[in-house]
Amino acid sequence: MSELMEATGLEKGGIYKHFANKEELAVEAFRFAADWVTEARIGGLDEIDGALPKLRTIVERFVAEPSPIPGGCPLLNAAVDTDDGNPALRKLARASFAEWRRRIASIVEHGIESGELRRSANPSQVADTMISTIEGALVLSRILGNRSPLEHVRIPLEAMLNELETSPERTKAR
């Protein structure tokens, strides 16, 4: 609260004039942070042609670009911090993860439909693997104080994406 007061120049009463309680403040802060990070990480994917380039862009953005928000991933932080605290915030964290998962799975589904990705690709499995791997690397990076875990996960994620790709000859034939 003291950091928020310092950042905004408001007193505690001025902050609570806009929010009913700490839980509501946390929900709004999460929404702001999640929107900001989502735009930085997966914004503009619709302008990229092809499922594989989109999936590779997601991986690359996490690996190459630090989070625009200090302190780690707001989704992961909210999921961990709200186990038993703020039900509204936990619900938002779940919804945000579900949306991220849905977006990745949708990209995979479109890749399968276009013939770019193998029919055997499991959209939910790809999404879960990407999210779990990236989030795990973010946690390790934060603990270790460097980005090397993110560099390390680039290789297995790229291998997974390469394995999903259909041969160029099959893709051209469609």
Domain with 11 in it: what CATH number?
Answer: 1.10.357.10
Among residues 69, 66, 72, 62, the alpha carbon closest in space to that of 41 is found at 62
So what's the pLDDT on residue 120? 95
Nearest CA to 27 among 84, 80, 74, 67? 74
- Please say if the pLDDT value at position 128 is more than 80: yes
Considering Cα of 41, then 44, then 46, then 49, what sign does the dihedral take? negative
Quote the DSSP letter at residue 46.
G
Which stretch of DSSP H or E encloses residue 84?
none
Q: Give the chain's domain count.
A: 1
Predicted pLDDT of residue 15: 63
**Which pLDDT score, from 0 to 100, does residue 106 have?**
96
Q: Is the pLDDT of residue 168 over 60?
A: no
113's tokens: 């439909």
171 confidence band (pLDDT: 50, 70, 90): very low
pLDDT in tens, 24-54: 777 777 788 778 877 777 888 889 999 999 9
Whether the pLDDT of residue 20 is over 70: the answer is no
Domain that holds residue 31: 2-173
Mean pLDDT within 128-140: 92
More confident residue, 142 or 8: 142
Q: Whole-prediction pTM value? A: 0.79
Cβ–Cβ under 8 Å, residues 150 and 63: yes
